[in-house]
Amino acid sequence: MADSAVIQQGSPAIGAAGSVPAAPGAGGTEGSGAAGGSARIAVKKAQLRSSPRPKKLEKLGVYSSCKAEGACKCNGWKSQNPPPTPPRTDQQSNTVNLQEPCRSCSHTLGDHVTHLENVSEEEMNRLLGIVLDVEYLYTCVHKEEDADTKQVYFSLFKLLRKSILQMGKPMLEAQESPPFEKPSIEQGVNNFVQYKFSHLPSKERQTIVELAKMFLNQINYWQLETPSQRRLRVPNDDAAGYKANYTRWLCYCNVPQFCDSLPRYETTQIFGRTLLRSVFTVMRKQLLEQARQEKDKLPPEKRTLILTHFPKFLSMLEEEVYSHSSPIWSQDFLAGASGGQIPIHTVIAAPPVARPLYYSTSPVSVDTSNCGSVSPARKAASVLESNPVEKRKASEPLSHEENKRPRVVGDIPMELINEVMSTITDPAAIPETNLLSAHSARDEAARIEERRGVIEFHVIGNSLNQKPNKRILMWLVGLQNVFSHQLPRMPKEYITRLVFDPKHKTLSLIKDGRVIGGICFRMFPSQGFTEIVFCAVTSNEQVKGYGTHLMNHLKEYHIKHEILNFLTYADEYAIGYFKKQGFSKDIKVSKAKYVGYIKDYEGATLMGCELNPSIPYTEFSVIIKKQKEIIKKLIERKQAQIRKVYPGLSCFKEGVRQIPIECIPGIRETGWKPVGKGKEMKDPDQLYSTLKTILQHVKSHQNAWPFMEPVKKTEAPGYYQEIRFPMDLKTMSERLKSRYYTTRKLFMADMQRIFTNCREYNLPESEYYKCANLLEKFFYTKIKEAGLIEK
């Protein structure tokens, strides 16, 4: 699976070298067999999460301190009859007795889990995931022989253990948070491609981009050597510096691939030239050696690319990596002669980060608005900073290989989509939108100005422990003036206090070097939301789309920081603006999470907004515009096909009273299909009840475990490049709860999609493929029993 996954990411595979993540404790330079270990952990988590609630309580009780009266110091329930090692499935009992005493403190299991009585299933499943990660790290600690690695595993083990006891989210406590060096490896390789190959024709340049993607992919899945191994190989190297980077890599990149309760980052996005220098020579040698050994196994179309072009690419990159005067590692790379910033065209992106709570589209080529990037995680201390806001990367177009895959019934042919897209992407074929037109997006003018460098967006904040930056302080004063002028009801002293408060940040809108607007906010990462305090644009710059574009940049910034909820108190004049930005009075954040954290205002309305991490907000209106054009072209093509005029029906003159619809000439050419046989329930409540029962039966089936939740990118690399319309039982449950399934056909189509996707991605002899077949047979049995289709 690993080799094909590399190709699907847009990066030609070189055998298996460095392409599979190594399991913690595996040792060595390459991660052999790691994918299987990760899959086994995922299977265990799925099975545990589908267990009855008493079984879950028993599992969590082992890691929960005793709550009995008398200040019991027992930190975990221990069974009187511990299971054998390894546990035998035939001897496991499904019955759990909450009155069973603890072998350590003699208090019951119930005394250890009283704090879990009112906990939701979702929260309990999250804690169970941490439990399995704790058990896995415990095994790693005992198997690992390297002292440095063992110490890191043990620290992470204690961190997760503490998270279970406190029912909190694991937060790594470190002096520094990602990114650890700027520019990152990914940005440096982007700069290298721009610096050396921007003059090439489009086709040749695309070849270089493919090589760069492949190189980044290899680094992201490369297994670093331990500090002790490196000391033996390079005695005179900076041992302390390498050990620090190795520890960070374990905590933020390697271990989270298997313990998904920890936040994970890509190596290429949080490390810079220092780490690249320490691995480049060894990595280059091993990759090229692997390519020579496996040249006969490479596909013909990849052989020239890997054996001829890749070595030259690595040699040129090596010069820039070790050169002390290379411009690609400068923060000011591509800066204009006047000192102002011009947009960087990001041509490469590493494979997507697998986030623990949600799934996003694969990042690819986009045009970013400014130099620099916003880090994936906030620094622990408030700093005086200016982060140029970088747009997230949008979805990658399907490659030629992906277009050859079997179609799913109901999809529009990819050949037709590509043909239409070729006209849409041609600038001459796209009608120019007048900015004054009613069809123009609110933020279109602002987006054009940003692209031209007329306006800039920066996240800035004050600091009490760093030397003041004069430019940032001037911007903060400008923001204080804008907010005071545009929000006359707010006391100026209050505005000044919050704008200059180190705990607050402000997304500032800069035009001609001066502040013309901004959004002041405070992030509460532990509570999962951000409070928007002030939002204003100076009066003579309003009605230009700046407010919408400001909010879209703020949404992008928070998605990068994995905060997906906004809260704000809006006065009567601001409610309309916030509604247009996706806010509503229906607050998705539970009251317990924000009460006592946010400021309360009299006469204002509390509004909230939930972000979707799959949406590139700053380009959303452009995407919608292109989608409208595609649909318009498809409709035009369809109309051209059915414009044939058929003669009228003469059968009625001969006494025929009625004929089947399908007998009407030309009716099938319009796309009409006969209605499938089966009972369609008219009562929505009856339909909901029937579908809920069927879905519960399916989820309880012994072969449903692979389909319980969305596929994780860490477990199946390249899955979301190959499967265009993913579906799972958790998503179906959410859709059913929201009354999405208004007909049986919608429900059956989603269920069928699960089975089709599984068979399309997996081999026929795989366990997943067999589970799909068995579960599909069971599903249709239940559908027939419910009378939704004829038996």
The H-or-E segment that residue 514 falls in is: strand 514-524
Q: What is the rounded CA–CA span in Å between residue 313 and residue 11?
A: 14
In degrees to the nearest 10, what's the CA dihedral of 251, 383, 324, 376?
Answer: 40
Residues that constitute the known binding site for acetyl-CoA: 535-537, 542-548, 573-576
388 pLDDT tier (thresholds 50, 70, 90) = low
**Is residue 519 pLDDT above 90, yes or no?**
yes
Contact yes or no for 265/353 (Cβ under 8 A): yes
- Given a cut of 70, whether residue 74 has pLDDT beyond it is yes
Quick one: 117 exposed, middle or buried, by C-beta within 10 A (0-12, 13-18, 19+)? exposed
Contact 181, 273 (CB under 8 A): yes
Distance CA 255, CA 691 (A): 40
* Per-residue pLDDT at 61: 77
- Give strand ranges (E) for 350-418: 366-367, 385-388
* Residue 242 main-chain phi, psi, to 5 deg: -65, -40
Most confident of 376-380, 542-546, 586-590, 694-698: 694-698
Q: For residues 2 and 21, what is the distance between their CA atoms, to the nearest angstrom? A: 9
Q: What tokens does 626 get?
A: 């292109």
Structural domains in the chain, sorted by start: 37-80+97-166 (no CATH), 185-322 (no CATH), 452-622 (3.40.630.30), 684-786 (1.20.920.10)
What percent of the chain has a predicted confidence (pLDDT) above 90? Answer: 18
What was the pLDDT predicted at 517?
A: 93
Higher pLDDT, 473 or 324: 473
Tell which residue, 665, 729, 666, 719, has the closest CA to residue 694: 729
Asked about 531 being catalytic, the answer comes back as yes
Contacts of 734 (CB under 8 A, 6+ apart): none
Indicate which residue of 144, 320, 444, 531 is catalytic.
531
User: Which helix (H) or strand (E) segment is 346 a member of?
Assistant: strand 345-346
The 10s digit of each residue's pLDDT in 609-647 is 999 888 888 888 888 888 888 888 888 877 776 677 777
Q: Quote the CA–CA distance of 518 and 484 in Å, as a whole number.
A: 12
pLDDT tens-digit readout, 413-472: 667 777 776 666 554 444 444 433 444 566 778 888 887 788 889 999 988 887 778 888
Rounded Cα distance, 382 and 463, in Å: 6
Peptide bond into 183 cis (omega under 30): yes
Angle at 652 between CA 650 and CA 655, to 5 degrees: 125
Residues 6 or more apart in contact with residue 419 via CB below 8 angstroms: none
The alpha carbon of residue 39 and the mean position of all alpha carbons in its chain are separated, in whole angstroms, by: 19
pLDDT > 50? residue 385: no
Distance separating alpha carbons of residues 475 and 95, to the nearest angstrom:
64
In 580-713, where do the E strands start and end?
605-610
Q: What is the pLDDT of residues 468-499, one digit of tens each?
A: 788 889 999 999 999 999 888 888 999 999 99
Q: Is the pLDDT of residue 352 over 80?
A: no
